[in-house]
A and B are shown apart, each in its own frame.
Chain A
Amino acid sequence: MKEKLEEITGVSGVRTAFIYFNDGEVVFNSAPQGFDKETFEEIAKDVVQMTAIFDRLATPITEYDLKFDNGRVIAYTQHNYTLIILCEPGVSLAMLRLTVNVAIADMEADKKFQKRVGKIETTRRSFLVRSNMDPESWSLVETVS
């Protein structure tokens, strides 16, 4: 897994990449200046919550590409884990996507990885609880449900 993250971080324009498993584990190589495990966790939870909301609308999501004026956040959401990549705005997207597709295919073919993922019972849905968010967000969730 870590070698795959290494490959992804090696793509020109990528700042860092990490994997978040729905049961809470975060896997990453080295965090850049100003980032740590908690930051990664926070970002990942927000991504999972978004994905859970789209689940409620019956339009499941597999890929996010969010452009900001100082960076780009790309996320791939699978059932039990999420791969998140923080990039510069000018990242080579085609190269990144190619590398990620191959990395995910390799990871999912690996028996150890399959076992790890198979153990997870936490659902995406369970991320949408009142205690996990501010009141305004919660009332929006209630309207959607």
Chain B
Amino acid sequence: MALVGNLKDLKLTNIVQLNCMEKNQALFTVEHQKKVGKIYFAEGNIVHAEYAGHEGDEAVYKILQIKEGPFKVENNVPPPKRTINTPWSNVLMEGLRLIDEAKEAKGDALSKFSKELKNINGVNGVLIGNSFGEILMEESIANGKRTSAAMAFVLRKIEKIGRASKSGTFKIGFIAGKNDKKIVSKWSEDVVKLIVDPKMSSDTVEQALERIKQQNP
């Protein structure tokens, strides 16, 4: 085995660069969410790739999005076919550019969503995090990082409770303490938490939240 590791420790761009500059004939394989991605190197370039039903450049762009997963590089594996003719540096550049574009688009959507939520009457703070506990967006939240991890945890628990109690899919949760009220909801795969003025009617905020979610798929 020429190289074994995990993408969270070594970036794909480095691996590609290495193999191309060394003019290796090699096969890079990575596993992610039960799918397998393959990139074939030969004569100093990427010559073929496959992943999740895609081939060629498309496959490379998709594999570039993988942030974590075990990989191995095997030497002297000939490629089964040739689907990529662009120089490796161009392939990488285009792939990274597409990733940036998507991030920006998501960032804009997120920003708009978050601002609309903050504008709901009675909402004092907004936190949007992903299921890994990372903050995506926050407005007026203290302790963002810890809160975000807590919300991801809470969502997992809520969904577990939903299954155990045979209640179906989670829609929205109202969580109240002595002096504050929080609303927890999902926005596709992310967690949304709103800090709400306790005097505000839950129904009103819920309706406004649903309306804004519909306008921001």
Q: Classify A-B as touching or not with yes or no (CB < 8 A).
A: yes
| A interface with B by C-beta (< 8 Å) | 34, 39, 42-43, 46-47, 49-50, 53-54, 56-57, 59-73, 86, 136-137, 140-141, 143-144
Residues of B within 8 A of A140 (CB): 133, 149-150, 152-153, 156
Q: Are B149 and A71 in contact (CB under 8 A)?
A: no
| Contact between A86 and B165, CB atoms less than 8 A apart | yes
Given the interface contacts A73-B167, A86-B167, A143-B145, does A65 sit within 8 Å of B153 by beta carbon?
Answer: no
**Which residues of chain B are near A73, meaning CB under 8 Å?**
161-162, 165, 167
Q: Let me know if B162 and A68 touch, CB within 8 A.
A: yes
Nearest opposing residue in chain B for A145, CB measure: B146
Jot down 18 A-B pairs with beta carbons below 8 A, ordered by A.
A34-B166, A39-B165, A43-B161, A43-B164, A50-B158, A53-B153, A54-B154, A57-B146, A59-B177, A65-B176, A67-B171, A68-B167, A69-B167, A69-B168, A72-B167, A141-B149, A143-B146, A143-B149
Q: Give 13 A-B pairs besides A43-B165, A67-B170 with Cβ atoms closer than 8 angstroms.
A: A53-B154, A64-B173, A65-B174, A66-B170, A66-B173, A68-B169, A68-B170, A69-B169, A69-B171, A136-B156, A137-B153, A140-B150, A144-B149
Q: Which residue of A lies closest to B143 (CB)?
A: A57
Chain B hits for A72, CB < 8 A: 167
Residues in A whose Cβ lies below 8 Å from that of B156: 136-137, 140
Contact between chains at A144 and B178 (CB < 8 Å):
no
Q: Is B52 an interface residue (CB 8 A)?
A: no
**Bound complex: CA A69 to CA B150 (Å):** 24
Closest A residue, CB atoms, query B168? A70
- The total number of A-B Cβ pairs within 8 Å is 115
Q: Which residues of A contact B161 (CB under 8 A)?
A: 43, 46-47, 66, 73
A60-B133 contact in complex given A70-B166, A73-B161, C-beta closer than 8 Å? no
Cβ of B175 within 8 Å of any chain A Cβ, yes or no, is: yes
Residue from B133, B146, B164, B176 within 8 A of A42 (CB atoms): B164
Q: For the complex, is B160 an interface residue (Cβ under 8 Å from A)?
A: yes
Residues of chain B within 8 A (CB-CB) of A66 are 158, 161-162, 167, 170, 172-174
Q: Is A70 in contact with B167, judged by CB distance below 8 angstroms? A: yes
Which B residues touch A64, using CB under 8 A? 173-176
Q: Does B180 contact A (CB under 8 A)?
A: yes
In the complex, the answer to whether B150 meets A61 with C-beta atoms within 8 Å is no
- Chain B residue at minimal CB-CB distance from A72: B167
Q: Counting CB contacts under 8 A, is B147 at the interface?
A: yes
CB neighbours of A34 from chain B (8 A): 166
Tell me the smallest distance from the CB of A103 to a CB of chain B, in Å: 18
Query: Distance (Å) between the CB of A87 and the closest chain B CB?
Result: 9
Question: Is B157's beta carbon under 8 Å from chain A?
Answer: yes
The 0/1 profile, CB within 8 Å of A marked 1, for residues 80-116 of chain B is: 0000000000000000000000000000000000000
Contact between A57 and B177, CB atoms less than 8 A apart: no
